[in-house]
Every structure is written in C-alpha cells, then in structure tokens.
Chains A and B, each alone.
Chain A
Amino acid sequence: MRWFWIDKFKSFERGRCATAVKAVSICEEHMQGYFPGYPVMTPTFVIEGFAQMGGILISETREFRQNLVLAKVSRSKIHRYARPGELMSYAVNLVSLQEDGGLVEATSHIDGELHVEADLTFAQVSRDVIDRKFFEPVGLLQMLRVYGLYDVGVDENGDPLKIPEYLLEAEKTATGAYF
C-alpha cells in the first residue's frame, strides 16, 4: 500500500496552489519511535506530505503523464512539534513551473500557528533514465480520489477538474477484469 501523508485536499487550483489537512493520531506507528514516551508527528513526514501535494500540483498540469521526483528540500524550518489530537493545515504554492520540474513553497499551521515551512524542488526524470511510469494509472487515480482532488480541484477557469481520460480508461479496464 502507498503511504498517504495528507488526509484530504481542502482546495486545489491548477498550476497555482493547494491546501490540505492531516489529523495527527497516536495510532500512527511512527509516532511511537521518534521520541519514545513523547509522541510527536515526525517532521520529515510533514515534508513528505508537502512533497505529495507539490508533486500532484505540478503533475496535474501535465495530466500525470511525466515522471516527477522530489529532487531537493532547499529550505525547511520546524517551528514546533505536532502532537496527537492536533490538526495540521498544509498550504503549497507553486513558485515556478518549468518543462523539467518546478519549485514549491509549503507551510503547515496548527490552530493558526506556524508549524513547519519548506521549499521543495521537483525534477522530471527523463524516460531515457527510467523507462517506466512511477505510478500505475489505477493506483494513481485511487490515491487522487482518496485525497479528494476531484471533489475540490478547479482548473485555470475555475471549473471543476476533470479526470484524464486515460486514467478512467485504465480504471475501466481493470474493473472489467474483475466484473
């Protein structure tokens, strides 16, 4: 199973920005190990949540057809720890979108207080380097639906995002194999 590091998108504007939330639960396995006896949300997993949001923000502009990787965390500051029972509100802004990648600025707030901030650089991996897709379409679409991307996402005109046809086709084919 793929790791999910946000619970749900709250807003998503194509090629511009996105917000999401993640609730901190003591049930998450990693909570027990970071500081034994003092459970906190591991800050690197907060940054992984930013990376998932930023990756989706960039990839969505290209219908998720390119292989994109988190290349670098340029800058990050952990201002406090998130404790069980708290709700983290993530915001990601696309600073630069280029043919070979992009740059995003991300923040997490808890009750209005700055929790984590980071800049993330993404790079597109050439098909000459890795000749396969990082995400198989059915699993990708499932993840996007779990995150609620198509519930809240809008395109550059403010219209609801549409699921790319090739993802729907892949899903239909996979479902047809079972039913």
Chain B
Amino acid sequence: MPTEQEVFEKIRAALVDALGVDDDEVTPDATLVGDLGAESIDFLDIVFRLEKAFNIEIPRAELFPEDILTNAEYVQDGKVTDEGVSELKKRMPFADLSKFEANPLVQEFGNLLTVNDMVRYVCSKVEA
C-alpha cells in the first residue's frame, strides 16, 4: 500500500504531464482549475493517468458529479440546494466542501477540487 506521500508524488507527476505545470506549482492546496488551469478535457487526461498509475478504476461521476449539478431537484437559481450539498458530500467524502457550502454557486464548483482532495480520493480507492 503506497504512503500518502507516494500517492501525492504520483499525482503530481500526472498533473505535471497532463497540465504542463511545474513541479513546484502542484502543492496540496492548489486547486485544479483555479491554480493549475485545468479545463474540462484535462480531467479525462488526468483520470486516464491516475487509473494507469494506481491501477484503479475511477467512475467519472465520483470526481465530477455533473448529474447532481445539472439536476433541477438539487439546483435552484444557480445555487446548489441543501439537499444537493448533502448529495455532494455523500458522493465526494474526500473533498472539503465547507467553503463551497457557504456560497454554493454551481459555477464555482469546478474550482473546488484541490490536489489534496485528489490524494484523499486516490488513497480511498487504493485502500478499498
């Protein structure tokens, strides 16, 4: 079982290759979209690299819960409802949603995921 540091190093290598960023830009707190400049198509690239690096399967809806964010039941006036946030927490236990919860604008969701969230996610998959 890899240590958290080993997982971080592999994720860093994947992000450097996928996003063309420098090693030192990939810090645990860096957000994938805001700090590292990831766009939607980059997530496919990142997922392919992580699946290969860790020999795991990553169901797309676990990392990118678009079905929740586009569901009228969970979104009103561009904001995720309390029920929606609750669903997101269930789906993404590895992500820190506290900041998002304070102002749950759908358009801000993409900027939520950090490198550390990815590390926690991968650790949970590797341990499973």
- A72 surroundings in chain B (CB, below 8 A): 41-42, 44-45
A96 at interface, CB cutoff 8 A: yes
Inter-chain CA distance A161–B42, complex, in Å, is 33
CB distance from B65 to the nearest CB of A (A): 16
Residues of B within 8 A of A96 (CB): 48-49, 51-52
Distance in angstroms between the alpha carbons of A71 and B47 in the assembled complex: 14
Any A CB within 8 A of the CB of B96:
no
How many residues in B have their beta carbons less than 8 Å from beta carbons of A? 13
- Give the contacts of B27-69 with A (CB-CB under 8 A): 41-42, 44-45, 47-49, 51-52, 60
A98 CA / B50 CA spacing, docked (Å): 12
How far is A121 from B45 in the complex, measured between Cα atoms in Å? 6
Interface size for A (C-beta < 8 A) is 14
Q: B18 within 8 Å of A by Cβ? A: yes
- Check A74–B60 contact: CB distance below 8 A: no
Contacts of A103 in B (CB 8 A): 45, 48-49, 52
Chain B hits for A71, CB < 8 A: 41, 44-45
- When the two chains form the complex, which single residue of A75, A101, A102 contacts B17, counting CB atoms closer than 8 Å? A75
Q: Does B78 contact A (CB under 8 A)?
A: no
Residue A119 CB within 8 A of the other chain: yes
Any chain A CB within 8 A of the CB of B20? yes
**What's the least CB distance linking A6 to chain B, in Å?**
23
Known: A103-B45, A121-B44. A74 touches B51 (CB 8 A): no
Assess the A74–B52 pair: CB atoms within 8 A: no
Residue numbers in B under 8 Å from A123 (CB-CB): 41, 44
In angstroms, how far is the closest chain A Cβ from the Cβ of B64?
A: 12
Q: Across the two chains, which residue of chain A brings its CB closest to B45?
A: A121
Task: List 16 additional contacts besides A72-B44, A95-B52; criterion CB under 8 Å.
Answer: A71-B45, A72-B41, A74-B17, A74-B18, A74-B20, A95-B48, A96-B48, A98-B47, A98-B51, A100-B44, A100-B60, A102-B48, A103-B52, A119-B17, A121-B48, A123-B44
29 A-B pairs with CB atoms under 8 Å apart are A71-B41, A71-B44, A71-B45, A72-B41, A72-B42, A72-B44, A74-B18, A74-B20, A74-B45, A75-B17, A75-B20, A95-B48, A95-B49, A95-B52, A96-B49, A96-B51, A98-B47, A98-B48, A100-B44, A100-B60, A101-B44, A101-B48, A103-B48, A103-B49, A103-B52, A121-B41, A121-B44, A123-B41, A123-B44
**Residues of chain B at the chain A interface (Cβ within 8 Å):** 17-18, 20, 41-42, 44-45, 47-49, 51-52, 60
